[in-house]
Structures are given as structure tokens and as C-alpha cells.
Amino acid sequence: MHNRFYIEEKIENHPGKEIVLESISAHVKAFRKKIGDEIKLCDGLGTVYSAKIIKIAKKNINIELISSKKYSEDNIKIYLFLPLITSHIMDQLIARVCELGVSNIFPVITERSIKLKSEKEINSKLSKWDKISKGAMIIAGKNFSTVINKPANLAGAFKSAENFDAKLIASPDADLSLKNYIESLDFNKAHISIGIFIGPEGDFSPSELRLSKEYGFTPVKLSNYIMSTFVASIYSVSNLMCFAFSDNNYAS
């Protein structure tokens, strides 16, 4: 039963306090919640509130706060660098990798990627992607929403990853496989950050791959097959998540 909702409002943890919420009113009604029902409210930053519905009005609901719990972030963070691709496919891709548990997404402008025409278009995309991220958080039962960063050129994206523990770039011509690389990582460290760049349709250009080496990135081969950006992204994230959070490697 659906009882988790993302709230835009900032609320203080005062058990027994009555709070008026507007941001979830439509969703509460859509899921046919009733007065007396208990729900979970997520702020996307790690705090989950337990509350009881005490009033349902036309444009808002009143809840009574029961308790709250603050969760800590995972010690392993995966940062996915995605080329801008066709809008509806990009939206679907962001939703799927957010559900998988990626910490941050960095949209990247490459030689062969889609180009955004204006600041207005960029802001519109960011707003849409943020909503997708929040929705994926609720669907997946996560306590932190994936951060969607502003699109950057490739050099800027490389620079933003300079302090990561692992810096990878997918390349079908790489000698090292993704599997062999992640098997060499020490996932028992207190904290580990992994950044992986996925190429656009047609892959990165030779000059872009040379630039990645200048920034210290390791090229990795995903498989023996050519994948679309959509498939390569999900494949890479799934492999990283599966290995990083296996019983033998997850540091709680």
C-alpha cells in the first residue's frame, strides 16, 4: 500500500504538532487516503516523518506528527555522468537510475550529444528531472533523492570528478573490463565515491577520450556488445550497485 510521500514543506520535529501541508494534497487524495490513516513523509534529505491524517480539505491536508527518523547516507556513492539524449528517453533513463540508487547525476554536453538551446530550457529540464528524482525516491523506498546537476561541458564534468576515488569512462575499445575493475576496488572503506561517464550515441570522439586520460580517467569496456546510452547507463549502474552492496562488500 502506498503510504510514502515527498513533502516540499520544511517541518520541525515536534511530535503531536498539527501541520498543514499543501504539496501532497493531490497525491493523498489520488491514493484515497482517509482521516486516521498513518503516512510517511520524506524530505529527500534523509529525514522520514511518521504522521496521521486528521483533516482533508480542498487544497491541503492537516496531519499530526507522530515521530521522525534521520537516516545516514550510504558509504558508497555512485555519480553518473550522462550525455544529453532525446528528451523522453532521458526522462526515462533518469527515473530508472534514480530508482537504482545513484547519488548524483551530471548531464554532460559532448560533441555528439543533444544541445540545449537556452538557459530557460535548461532550467525547465532541471525542474522536470528533479520531480522525476523525487518520484523515483518514493517508488524505490529511498530516503535521499538523487541530485540532478546543471548540464556542463565535458571538461567541466571531468573537473567536477577530480577528487573521486574511482574515475571511469565507458569505452568499447578499452582493454580493461568494468567487471575486472570493480573487483579490484576496496568497498570496505569508510566512504568511496565512484564516477562513471557514459558516452552518447556514436560514443565519445577520440579527442574526448584523450581529454579523459588527461583528467585521470580509466577507460573500461562494459561488454562485448555495443549498447545504447540508455542500456549502457543502466547496465553500468546495476553492476556497480550489485557488487558494491553485496553482503561481502557493503560496509554498514
Residue 66 near residue 15, CB atoms below 8 Å:
yes
Spatial distance between the Cα atoms of 86 and 154, rounded to a whole number of angstroms: 18
Residue 251 domain flag: no
What is the number of structural domains in the chain? 2
Q: Where is the domain boundary, 36, 54, 70?
A: 70
The reported pLDDT for the residue numbered 48 is: 96
Statement to judge: residues 19 and 132 lie in one domain: no
Instruction: Based on the fold, state whether residues 15 and 62 are members of the same structural domain.
Output: yes
Q: What is the mean pLDDT of residues 142-156?
A: 96
106 and 153 part of one domain: yes
Those residues with Cβ within 8 angstroms of residue 164's Cβ, 6 or more apart along the chain or in another chain: 79, 193, 194, 195
> Does residue 26 sit in the same domain as residue 51?
yes
User: Angle, nearest 10°, between helix axes 229-244 and 87-100?
Assistant: 10
For range 145-154, the mean pLDDT: 96
Report residue 32's pLDDT band, with 50, 70 and 90 as the boundaries.
very high
Is 188 domain-assigned?
A: yes
Does residue 59 sit in the same domain as residue 94? Answer: no
pLDDT tens for 92-122 read 999 999 999 999 999 999 999 999 889 999 9
Query: By C-alpha distance, which of 32, 31, 33, 25 is closest to 8?
Result: 25
Cβ neighbors of 117 (< 8 A, separation 6 or more) are: none
- Grid cell in block for residue 14: 515536534
pLDDT confidence bin for 232, thresholds 50/70/90: very high
DSSP-based three-state secondary structure for 234:
helix
121 & 208 share domain: yes
Domain containing 52 equals 4-70
**106 shares its domain with 146:** yes
State the CATH number of the domain containing residue 148.
3.40.1280.10
pLDDT tens per residue, range 201-217: 999 999 999 999 999 99
